[in-house]
Structure 1
Amino acid sequence: MTEREAFLAWVDTELHDAEIALHNGDPGPRRALWSREEPVSVLGAWRNVFRQEAVGELFVQLAARLSDCTSLVFDLRSCDVVGDMAYTAGFEHISVTMDGHTARVHTAGDPGVPPRERRVAGRPPAR
């Protein structure tokens, strides 16, 4: 298995589980995945942050706003991994309660490209 293949397998397992937890109000699993060494950053849809303290605060703030995730599909467009550094870029399609209101969040994506589907807490992937 190449370094990239191993990274993609991790994205579909550990990162997937951490994203589901975050979208159900638990920042712990996602925070556990992030490096504890500087420099560290998150370039995200909600906001970008840099440094350990800001990363931890971001995850707590996001989790406080989110709950009841019923669907999370990630349309991966690009990724790379080199040593201990990696990135993903793509579009998230999520059904979640945000700030107490049910929301379906769809980022703009090319409908002609099938998404890499992720399961939600024991549910089979949508087809």
Structure 2
Amino acid sequence: MTDPYEFLAWVNIDVVAAERAMLDGDDGPRRAIWSTQEPVSALGAWRTAVGRTQLVEEFEVLASTFSSCLAYEFDLLSYDVTDDFAYTTGYERIETSVDGVPRSFTLRSTQVYRHEADGWKIVHRHADILS
């Protein structure tokens, strides 16, 4: 069985760092933690993507709108981990600039992860704005 503490450490370090980078205008770290294997999908607060090609396009567009991230916190509500799959749900509390305008908002997010040869990768994300 996969160690849930190792999975949560990866989420709290790598996933959080990638989201913070995205909110600062850099989609590279986010691309690195997402699977390159199909299927992948994102039902985002602002954009939706199905398949790796659309996903990369979504990341590029989102990164071009974000800058000057002041804060990003992930408040985990629930999770589960098996050998090959995991999920997390929680609140993402964000302070960043969107199109140059400072904004604070909270997203409700659910992510699904697949354990691949090189470690955990995100395969699905659903997020919407709470406030």
The answer to whether the superposition gives a TM-score over 0.5 is yes
User: Which runs of 4 or more aligned residues in structure 1 lie more than 3 Å from their structure 2 counterparts after TM superposition?
Assistant: none
Aligned sequence identity (%): 45
Higher strand share: 2
User: Structure 2, unaligned stretches of length 5 or more?
Assistant: 109-131
- 1:62 is matched with which residue? 62
1:13-35 deviation line (CA, Å, top 9, x unaligned): 11111111101000001001111
Aligned length: 108
TM-score under structure 1 normalisation?
A: 0.75
**Quick one: which amino acid aligns to residue 60 of structure 2?**
V
**Quick one: which amino acid aligns to residue 62 of structure 2?**
L
Three-state SS of the structure 2 residue aligned to 1:39 is coil
Shift of 1:44: 3.1
- 2:73 is matched with which residue? 73
* Aligned CA-pair RMSD: 1.9
- 1:119 is matched with which residue? none
1:28-59 deviation line (CA, Å, top 9, x unaligned): 01001111111112243333322111111111
User: Structure 1, unaligned stretches of length 5 or more?
Assistant: 109-127
Shift of 1:98: 0.5
Structure 1 39/83 Cα, relative in aligned 2: closer, same or farther at 3 Å?
farther
- 1:26 is matched with which residue? 26
1:55-99 deviation line (CA, Å, top 9, x unaligned): 111111111110000111112112223334332221111110101
In the TM superposition, what are the counterparts of 1:77-88 in structure 2 within 5 Å? Answer: 77-88=77-88
